Chain A
């Protein structure tokens, strides 16, 4: 369990990093916190010729708060979020999500950008940031572009990054003080990746009622308007009980064939909503 031989670079500016990523003659891979890539290197599931360590890039630790959102650099760690070293525009929602990722040693190194780029279907950021309505800011040779998290993640360990592109930052919208948020993770034990996860954001002031079921076999199942899922007609209405049948159908339609799997995902969604309503 030792990695195959690789070269290592730690560029000091983002342009230098992009230049390295553009090389086509060799296999290049970014390393951020190394919490997912490290094991893959050791297991030789990843055998890049060159590792580009992006943790030296000041731009990627940058945080910028504005009236409607906060932009956090890709190398902000789970622990930065957990400890609210990064201003929290979600009234405690995302720090709590961060706290449910792995355990502290992993959170000290693992990054929000790395987690999204890795796109493990069970990752907590993938489901929660899709629910909160975050965007991924992408930097590449052609400049910057952005994609909603739900569009950025295209499959199991698959994202919409082109050759030479990287995640530069994540834009997290400020949610209303009156918003209700619920997040529920089902996992075998503390620190494990989720078996089922669900997040619900009901923010009538901003006309948002979004629900996400994660830890599926592919991309998260996103309900951009969850009102009918909770027995209502409009996003501003107070939600009722979950229509479990509807959720189950959505999961089946998304390709989840196993009944018990669907069951725990539906339970996660109902409990996320229960938490939101109790909050």
Chain B
């Protein structure tokens, strides 16, 4: 048997159906009597609803907040001190607070007809001043989203460690840095199909979600129905990235609607809804100062960070997940003595913020790594030299950093050095001196980050949001013919769990992965889980599968010992067999006896048999810290502002890699999204809070020709706290590219003077503007 266990590059089992177009997504569901829903969404960012009028012929097909008297608004409260609570009505009530907010729900036999009805509904809206700019909104006490608050601030935090000591450092660099608002753009949008199962007396909700169990809890709270009467099924899901890590108001109202009408109802998010009603991530602003000694030793960071949190607090992550994290993770993988970070989560007339792959880290890494390059220029040293002087060193591990993050293991300097070696820095600098034949400017940029992943109870209890992860569980069941079923509460939508969790089981039991079925995405038969987010599944669900399989092994040994007439202490499980010095018996034979010939079992057999649910937490649940060093070489066309990525290197350490090929896939995907953040993706808003991109003609995504083929290198520094030493890596590659690429662009533009790009995405126009500003500066 070829090796299939932990560390093997086996092909993904799920790809057989996905690549043949045989996946089963929400839109593939067929159900008798199904009707489609289209929503009337607010055309204004902020307005009082004076009236909603429905033409007489459509009465009965249109529902508004007035109909939904029996459901509760969505409340995602954080326990952090000072957090202000928002109530998100499932259909707007009294006011609309962002463009795209749902005002009425229209149902018809087809989506086109439902849209006809939606188009006939007239809204009488009294426009109110909109908060479209978070910095202005932070200060405004006139345009208020939630009047009772008195301001627009969900939460303000302040972290301070000895900042006074840094203030008169010889090098002091201040920058204003920001990242645009983005959409997550999974290939499949959101979607919900709800119906009532009379036999089970149960609401059945199919939803394209990353967290079926959390959705069930949220629905139970909003609808006032007990958990046992709700089943949430998440079938194949075409990408999540955080966009589907939420209780949707659409889910709530579709459940209500199917109970009201008695037939199945469906809503499928279309791309315009996605772009204009769900531009919900990444928008950060930093005013950041770095302090350093002349030779580039970092003495302190002082930052004011503002996050545009949108109109409501989303369930379960709340409105302040990003800003609250910014303060704790801004120091990155560096060691320095003084720190201050104030943060604001500002309510604005935009859709509610959600975590997007990398969560706050992408913005934080962008801000910090850009400032570090500015300091390196000031100190007159190479950017990697500056970083090497300040990175936490391997001999300091495990390391508690300035914000008390506990870095479990790693060799950050080595990762960076390997990336720089792969780029061949001297050759690159020589190439820059020579210049390009086509007149373009070449530059090198880098960024290094560490990513807390799979952090658990101790971390989330402190934030006090509606969802605190505890023990992760998995159920393992040996089938009567010796196969294995694994049931997990996490969901796989691109991560490859159907393969990697099978590999974990294979590592312990040696059952061929073709005979291991990983079942997920259904609250009816999987153990409770907070779901898939925070790069947690391999650590948490992988750990749980390990524990369950270890127990299966123990029970199989007990039966095997009886069958082999051997001492259990001399036996072990290998290659799907219980083996001992005097022979072996296959798990298939043991399963046969357990299920089919119980008369042959030992008298003292464990009655739990060959099915068990086990729970797992790492020895320490403060998180694993995977990390990566990215280096980019770009060519900038100073006449057009176009940027081409010539070379891209990723050195990545995810601890033990269960399947390095799957990890490569995660790196490709993360890089693609990082390139999008760096160069293309942006949802602009006008002064009245209107989102300005409504199709992919305006909201640009990188395509295959824009995403470079990265050169990838893996390091494997085990985590001391997790099963096999694995670390979470799912988000990592989306964190560093905006910083690395923008640093490269700034390096390329150095010959033109002080042209510095500090806002993502770095569009051709922003490049040209920066050059124009630098030219003006020179001329002056």
Contacts and interface: CB of A to CB of B under 8 A. Distances in A.
A186 B705 contact: no
Contacts of A260: 765, 768-769, 772
B697 A2 contact: no
B764 interface: yes
A10 to B, nearest CB: 21
Interface in B111-125: 111-112, 115-116, 119
A3 B110 CA distance: 12
Contact of A1 (B271, B642, B697): B271
A190 B639 contact: no
B703 A190 contact: yes
A82 B271 CA distance: 30
B706 A193 contact: no
Interface of B: 110-112, 115-116, 119, 270-273, 639-642, 680, 694-695, 697, 700, 702-703, 705-706, 763-765, 768-769, 772
Contact of A186 (B115, B116, B640): B640
A189 B116 contact: no
A263 interface: yes
A1 B111 CA distance: 9
Given A1-B270, A189-B680, A190-B705, 17 more contacts: A1-B271, A4-B116, A39-B695, A43-B695, A188-B700, A189-B702, A189-B703, A189-B706, A190-B703, A190-B706, A192-B700, A193-B697, A260-B765, A260-B768, A263-B639, A264-B639, A264-B640
Given A3-B112, A5-B112, A188 B768 contact: no
A271 to B, nearest CB: 9
25 contacts: A1-B115, A1-B270, A1-B273, A2-B110, A2-B112, A2-B115, A4-B119, A5-B112, A43-B272, A186-B640, A188-B680, A188-B700, A188-B763, A189-B680, A189-B700, A189-B705, A190-B703, A190-B705, A191-B703, A259-B772, A260-B765, A264-B639, A264-B764, A267-B639, A267-B640
Q: Main SS of chain A's interface residues?
A: loop
A44 interface: yes
Interface in A84-107: none
B772 A44 contact: no
Contacts of A191: 703
Interface in A230-265: 259-260, 263-264
A262 B110 CA distance: 47
B637 to A, nearest CB: 9
B116 A5 contact: yes
B510 to A, nearest CB: 46
A35 B763 CA distance: 27
A192 B119 CA distance: 31
Nearest to B706: A189
The 4 closest A-B pairs by CB, nearest first: A2-B112, A1-B270, A190-B705, A267-B639
A182 to B, nearest CB: 16
B676 to A, nearest CB: 11
A259 B769 CA distance: 10
Contacts of A39: 695
Contacts of B115: 1-2, 4, 44
Nearest to B115: A2
A44 to B, nearest CB: 7
A270 B482 CA distance: 72
Nearest to B273: A1
B135 to A, nearest CB: 25
Nearest to A261: B765
Nearest to B765: A260
Contacts of A5: 112, 116
Contact of A263 (B271, B642, B705, B768): B768
A195 B772 CA distance: 19
Contacts of A192: 697, 700
Most buried by B among A188, A190, A259: A188
A2 B680 CA distance: 27
Contacts of B680: 188-189
Most buried by A among B110, B112, B700, B772: B112
Nearest to B111: A2
A196 B764 CA distance: 12
Interface in A1-45: 1-5, 39, 43-44
A189 B679 CA distance: 10
Interface string A182-209: 0000101111110110000000000000
B764 A188 contact: yes
A2 B118 CA distance: 12
Given A2-B111, A5-B112, A44 B119 contact: yes
Contacts of A43: 272, 694-695
A196 B765 CA distance: 13
Contacts of B111: 2
Nearest to B639: A267
Contacts of A189: 680, 700, 702-703, 705-706
A186 B642 contact: yes
Nearest to A103: B703
A225 to B, nearest CB: 26
Contacts of B702: 189
Contacts of B641: 264
B673 to A, nearest CB: 15
A5 B112 CA distance: 8
A208 to B, nearest CB: 28
A117 to B, nearest CB: 19
A196 to B, nearest CB: 8
B733 to A, nearest CB: 20
A200 B604 CA distance: 91
Contact of B272 (A1, A186, A195, A263): A1
Contacts of A263: 639, 768
A44 B111 CA distance: 14
A263 B703 CA distance: 27
A43 B697 CA distance: 13
A152 B772 CA distance: 37
Contacts of A2: 110-112, 115
B45 to A, nearest CB: 20
Contacts of A264: 639-641, 764, 768
B360 to A, nearest CB: 28
Contacts of A1: 115, 270-273
